Amino acid sequence: MDDFSPIIKYISKHILLEEEEEARFTSYLRIKKVRKKQYIVQPDFVCNHRTYIVSGALRAYLVDDRGQEHTVAFGIEDWWIADFNSYFFRQPATLFVEALEDSILIQIEYNAEQELLSTIPKFEKFYRIISQNGYAFLQRRILSNISLNAEQRYEDFMQRYPDIAARVPQYALASYLGFSTELLSKIRNNRLKKR
């Protein structure tokens, strides 16, 4: 039998499910195991799944016209990841979503999620809560990018997400923070000298 207990535990922080609601919800879910460097979303294809991370780490990124990668999100245990613009609006993705580690994921397909929302109304509340949390996080990130210098952005990230910083490649972290790997190395070296 599939183990959906991590996602049930996560959801129970926000809404309480009756036994039959839980059974119906889990009937829509699929467990997916991915290897490091495997993609679960690629540009030009519609993102059909919202993905909950049971274990592992992933990143979502864009490649610009010059071939430069821009990391827009990381995801680790108990987080969600997708190309949400593609997922919600049913249009081709612009992001790659790549596993940075071997990962175990739980996915729900878009049409199944729509059916879930129409049959178990309390999931409207659940998705509203996680959407609000995501929006607040995105606002904090934008404010950080426009108001803090590179070193301050790095320090802020290290304080908030030390686990992620320890697990993601340096190029991906630098890309997420909006500067080069060379500048990230310089900031890290300066930080070590101050200790």
| Blockwise average pLDDT, block size 10, the chain, 195 residues | 88 96 97 98 98 98 96 96 98 98 98 96 95 94 94 94 94 94 90 76
Largest CA distance in the chain: 58
- Which pLDDT value is given to residue 108? 98
Alpha-carbon span 175 to 32, nearest angstrom:
27
Alpha-carbon span 47 to 54, nearest angstrom:
19
Regarding beta strands 49-55 and 80-81, do their DSSP bridges make them parallel or antiparallel, or are they unpaired?
antiparallel
**Packing angle, helices 170-177 and 150-160, rounded to 10:** 120
Instruction: Kindly report the pTM of this predicted structure.
Output: 0.93
Alpha-carbon span 59 to 172, nearest angstrom:
8
Q: Is the dihedral of CA 130, 86, 48, 41 positive or negative?
A: negative
Alpha-carbon span 53 to 55, nearest angstrom:
6
- Which pLDDT value is given to residue 189? 87
- Which pLDDT value is given to residue 1? 41
Set out the domains of the chain in order of their start, with CATH numbers.
5-120 (2.60.120.10)
Q: Are 54 and 80 in contact (CB under 8 A)?
A: no
- Which pLDDT value is given to residue 194? 77
- Which pLDDT value is given to residue 191? 79
- Which pLDDT value is given to residue 184? 92
